């Protein structure tokens, strides 16, 4: 009974220390919380879950291509407005080049894509040449780069088509205009489809499937669980060592010698100290686990195994705390020694 | 050992390395009396009571508290004992009541008995109104009273008080001395250590004088006074170093002892009758061209006893 009285008194004193409570319950949550806030998106990889949210680039496209049938300009304009690119580009159209440039100048759009009048002719014949004009706000970097990348991919498709036409002419002789356009169009469509797939991060010959949203969250939770568990172990040992410090404090305050003058066995006093550390660390671990589960959606695992792990951790921490304190003579020595030993052992244990 | 005594110490010895802190101390305290251990700092008083209260194990010898040996029956001996340490030993972040409740439990009190005793002790030490305040914010006197109250919770037969009045204001000191008398009046045996002879003189039934780890005198106040032959104590201050005149004063008839203090340069003399001796003191001083600047005459007291026994004043340490 006296063991519990001593333990209760130590816990009562520990909980009256603001610094102690902060170090026991707030900091172990706060550190993973800060890491989560800083890198949670990177872990998630999803803008929806708070990750990096790349701004959508506002594009205005003006199609000046004169071709009416099989227009490469129209294909490009449609491609830029396709739903596959909605997460990257917000594309609108303009009737003429001046209007498109004006929208960029007045910051209604980030990038203007001006498709030249001879674009189809250049695309579908093997000796044509034409340039798409990219007009953008010079202060922007990422948005124009994305558009440039998309256009380059599209242009590569038509370059491939032209190479195909050359090869076809070499193999089959001179092609009539309709046949040449059909070959070029089919190749361009294939290249466009391929580009669209690659834009989504997927090669057409590889069946790569993105994990569903829930699985991504579980990955994040797992990462957070690892971090929180690391902090939990560190702070469990820290709390145990600080709680064990009460022996030194009581010796210096004269209350430990006074306890020895009461009809209380020394083993009971030491036992009380151990129980206090055990209970305090146990409560700390439970509180941190519950709060981290609520905040970071961490699933800690099967209750029985978790309970056994907690008991094991708490016993180790309490024993370590008392063992460490047995080498320390004064509370002035305790701070640096506890900090040093815990930091080194944590580094060796892979916490940092 | 004779179990009729509340405290009986026999040949207690304790050394710390080369230092022999207590060298075979024996004394007895009868039930219901106040026994003072008087001696200068470093005399071995605290070491002696540390052995009695179970903090230190004697190298040799034994002691009984209410018949329980501190060696073979230590737990019962401690249960019969209430200890008031010299330094305040309370939990500053707990309230007065919380402190008393905790220490009461350490003495085995529980439930309604504990609550009743806590209330009673709060009343005794005058902290009923402040029982819920953090004791760390108490004044020095209030902390001292709480320090004493803790030792009274289990109504011990014997209370050991180790210099409980050191470093406190006169009002709190008076309060503590009155408390000691009151406890004694209720039948408690009190072992009181002090280096203030006035306190020992006022409180004690018996006084044990210690010096350099040894008990050099034991008895009632009157018995100890007789050791110095009821001589008067004359303290003389001179305008120059008194070494020369001291030799002359020692030769005066009726002067038994003359010694210069190391701290303030005064000369302490023991004489049969100060009225007869004083004129001769002035004559000798005048002859040697020494000017006496002050004279103080005291009837025989414990200070004189200590001076007589050791050749030093109690507070010269």
* Whole-number Cα distances in Å, B281 to A238, B23, B198: 73, 40, 28
The Cα–Cα gap between A220 and A46 comes to 11
- The three-state secondary structure class of B35 is strand
Contact A149, A198 (CB under 8 A): no
Q: Identify which of A307, A313, A325 has the alpha carbon closest to the alpha carbon of residue A281.
A: A313
Of A17, A254, A263, the CB nearest to B85: A254
Q: Which of A8, A15, A19, A262 has the highest number of chain B CBs within 10 A, making it the mutation to test binding with B?
A: A262
Q: In CATH, what number is assigned to the domain containing residue B255?
A: 3.30.70.100
A260 contact B CB<8A: yes
Of B78, B83, B91, the CB nearest to A13: B91
Residue B270 pLDDT more than 90? no
Residues B29 and B76 in one domain: yes
* Residue A223, both tokens: 């990462």
Q: Residue B162 belongs to what H/E stretch?
A: strand B158-162
Long-range contacts of the stretch A39-42 (C-beta < 8 A, 24+) = A40/A220
Contacts of B105 in chain A (CB under 8 A): 1-2, 5
What is the 8-class DSSP label of residue B166? T
Biggest distance spanned by C-alpha atoms of chain A? 114
* Residue A104, both tokens: 């960029």
Tell me if B293 is assigned to some domain. yes
Q: Which of B89, B101, B150, B166 has the highest number of chain A CBs within 10 A, making it the mutation to test binding with A?
A: B89
Q: Residue A175 belongs to what H/E stretch?
A: none
- The pLDDT tens digits of the residues spanning B215-266 come to 988 998 888 888 777 778 889 998 888 888 898 998 898 888 888 876 677 8
Tell me if B310 is assigned to some domain. no
Q: Which fold has domain A57-199?
A: abc type-2 transporter like fold (3.40.1710)
* Residue B224, both tokens: 């100890």
User: What's the pLDDT score for residue B79?
Assistant: 92
The Cα–Cα gap between B287 and B231 comes to 26
The residues of B whose Cβ lies within 8 A of any Cβ of A are 53-55, 75-76, 78-79, 81, 83, 85, 87-94, 98, 102-103, 105-108, 150
User: What's the pLDDT score for residue A213?
Assistant: 46
Contact B106 A9 (CB under 8 A): no
User: What's the pLDDT score for residue A214?
Assistant: 47
A265 contact B CB<8A: yes
Residues B164 and B59 in one domain: yes
The Cα–Cα gap between A60 and A111 comes to 6
Q: Which of B196, B225, B254 is the last residue of a domain?
A: B225
The Cα–Cα gap between B220 and B113 comes to 38
- The three-state secondary structure class of A288 is helix
The CA distance from B61 to the nearest CA of chain A, in Å, is: 19
Tell me if B265 is assigned to some domain. yes
Q: Look up tokens 């834009």; give the residue.
A: A199
* Sites in chain A below the pLDDT cut of 50: 45-47, 49-51, 201-216
The CA distance from B317 to the nearest CA of chain A, in Å, is: 25
Output phi, psi for B235, to 5 deg. -110, 120
Residues B50 and B157 in one domain: yes
Tell me what the mean pLDDT of segment B64-68 comes to. 90
Residue B59: pLDDT band (50, 70, 90) is very high
Strand pairing class (B34-38; B189-194): parallel
User: Could you state, in order of their start, the residue ranges of all structural domains in chain A?
Assistant: 2-45+214-348, 57-199
Backbone CA torsion sign across A183, A188, A189, A195:
positive
Residue B254 is part of which domain span?
Answer: 231-299
Tell me what the mean pLDDT of segment B51-72 comes to. 91
Which residue in B has a C-alpha nearest to residue A2's C-alpha? B106
Contact A2 B89 (CB under 8 A): no
User: What's the pLDDT score for residue A42?
Assistant: 53
* Residue B203, both tokens: 């409180």
* Residue B250, both tokens: 């020692």
From the centroid of its chain, how far is CA A185?
A: 41
CA torsion A271-A274-A280-A285 (nearest 10°) is -130
User: What's the pLDDT score for residue B50?
Assistant: 92
Tell me if B317 is assigned to some domain. no
Output phi, psi for A282, to 5 deg. -60, -45
Contacts of B75 in chain A (CB under 8 A): 263, 265
Residues B192 and B266 in one domain: no
User: What's the pLDDT score for residue A191?
Assistant: 66
Q: What is the ipTM of this complex?
A: 0.79
- The pLDDT tens digits of the residues spanning B118-130 come to 999 999 888 898 8
Please, which residues have CB within 8 angstroms of residue A69's CB and are 6 or more apart in sequence?
A: none
The CA distance from A316 to the nearest CA of chain B, in Å, is: 28
| Residue B103 or residue A121, greater confidence | B103
How does the average pLDDT of chain B come out, rounded? 87
Strand partners, A60: A92, A112
A252 contact B CB<8A: no
User: What's the pLDDT score for residue A123?
Assistant: 72
User: What's the pLDDT score for residue B69?
Assistant: 92
Contacts of A3 in chain B (CB under 8 A): none
The Cα–Cα gap between B198 and A158 comes to 114
- The pLDDT tens digits of the residues spanning B149-202 come to 999 999 899 999 988 888 778 888 888 888 889 888 988 999 998 888 888 888
Contact B106 A259 (CB under 8 A): yes
Of A16, A253, A263, the CB nearest to B89: A253
Contact A12 B90 (CB under 8 A): no
Contacts of A258 in chain B (CB under 8 A): 83, 85, 89, 150
Query: Structural domain tally of chain B?
Result: 2
Tell me if B15 is assigned to some domain. yes
Please, which residues have CB within 8 angstroms of residue B167's CB and are 6 or more apart in sequence?
A: B140
Altogether, the residues listed in chain A come to a count of 352
User: What's the pLDDT score for residue A200?
Assistant: 53
Tell me if B306 is assigned to some domain. no
Residues B237 and B216 in one domain: no
Residues B143 and B17 in one domain: yes
Residues B193 and B243 in one domain: no
Q: Which of B177, B197, B225 is the last residue of a domain?
A: B225
Number of H helices, E strands in chain B: 11, 14
User: What's the pLDDT score for residue A219?
Assistant: 55
């Amino acid at each position: 009974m006296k063991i519990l009285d001593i333990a209760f008194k130590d816990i009562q004193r520990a909980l009256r220390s603001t610094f102690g409570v902060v170090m026991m319950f707030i900091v172990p949550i706060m550190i993973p919380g800060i890491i989560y806030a800083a890198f949670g998106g990177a872990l998630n990889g999803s803008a929806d879950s708070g990750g990096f949210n790349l701004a959508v680039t506002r594009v205005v496209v003006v199609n000046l291509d004169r071709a009416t049938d099989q227009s490469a300009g129209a294909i490009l304009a449609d491609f830029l407005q396709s739903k596959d690119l909605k997460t990257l580009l917000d594309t609108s159209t303009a009737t003429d080049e001046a209007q498109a440039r004006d929208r960029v100048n007045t910051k209604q759009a980030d990038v203007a894509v001006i498709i030249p009048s001879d674009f189809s002719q250049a695309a579908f014949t093997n000796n044509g040449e034409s340039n798409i004009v990219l007009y953008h706000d010079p202060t922007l970097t990422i948005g124009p780069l994305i558009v440039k990348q998309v256009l380059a991919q599209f242009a590569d498709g038509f370059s491939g088509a032209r190479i195909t036409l050359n090869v076809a002419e070499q193999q089959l002789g001179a092609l009539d205009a309709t046949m040449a356009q059909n070959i070029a169009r089919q190749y361009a469509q294939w290249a466009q489809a391929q580009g669209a797939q690659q834009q989504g991060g997927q090669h057409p010959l590889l069946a790569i499937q993105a994990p569903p949203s829930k699985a991504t969250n579980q990955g994040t939770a797992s990462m957070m669980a690892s971090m929180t568990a690391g902090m939990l172990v560190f702070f469990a040992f820290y709390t145990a060592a600080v709680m064990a410090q009460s022996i030194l404090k009581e010796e210096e305050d004269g209350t430990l010698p006074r306890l020895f003058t009461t009809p209380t066995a020394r083993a009971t006093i030491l036992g009380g100290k151990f129980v206090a550390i055990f209970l305090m660390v146990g409560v700390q671990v439970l509180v941190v686990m519950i709060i981290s589960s609520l905040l970071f959606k961490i699933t800690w695992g099967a209750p029985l195994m978790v309970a056994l792990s907690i008991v094991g951790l708490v016993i180790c921490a309490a024993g370590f705390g008392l063992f460490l304190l047995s080498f320390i003579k004064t509370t002035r020595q305790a701070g640096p020694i506890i900090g040093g030993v815990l930091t080194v052992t944590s580094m060796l244990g892979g916490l940092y | 050992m004779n179990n009729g005594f509340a405290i009986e110490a026999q040949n207690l010895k304790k050394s710390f390395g080369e230092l022999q802190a207590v060298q075979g101390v024996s004394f007895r305290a009868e039930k219901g009396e106040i026994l003072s251990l008087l001696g200068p700092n470093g005399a071995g008083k605290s070491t002696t009571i540390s052995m009695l209260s179970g903090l230190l194990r004697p190298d040799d010898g034994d002691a009984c508290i209410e018949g329980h040996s501190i060696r073979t029956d230590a737990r019962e001996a401690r249960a019969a004992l209430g200890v008031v340490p010299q330094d305040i030993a309370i939990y500053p972040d707990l309230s007065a009541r919380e402190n008393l409740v905790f220490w009461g439990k350490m003495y085995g009190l529980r439930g309604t008995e504990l609550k009743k005793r806590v209330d009673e002790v709060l009343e005794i030490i005058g902290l009923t109104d402040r029982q819920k305040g953090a004791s760390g914010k108490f004044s020095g006197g209030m902390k001292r009273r709480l320090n004493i109250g803790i030792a009274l919770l289990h109504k011990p037969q014997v209370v050991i008080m180790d210099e409980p009045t050191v470093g406190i204001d006169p009002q709190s000191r008076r309060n503590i001395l009155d408390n000691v008398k009151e406890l004694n009046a209720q039948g408690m045996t009190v072992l009181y250590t002090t280096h203030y002879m006035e306190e020992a003189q006022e409180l004690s039934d018996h006084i044990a004088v210690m010096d350099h780890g040894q008990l050099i005198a034991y008895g009632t106040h009157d018995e100890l006074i007789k050791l110095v032959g009821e001589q008067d104590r004359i303290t003389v201050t001179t305008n120059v170093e008194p070494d020369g005149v001291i030799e002359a004063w020692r030769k005066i008839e009726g002067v038994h002892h003359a010694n210069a203090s190391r701290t303030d340069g005064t000369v302490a003399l023991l004489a049969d009758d100060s009225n007869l001796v004083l004129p001769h003191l002035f004559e000798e001083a005048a002859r040697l061209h020494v000017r006496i600047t002050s004279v103080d005459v005291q009837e025989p007291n414990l200070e004189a006893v200590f001076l007589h026994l050791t050749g030093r004043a109690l507070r010269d340490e």
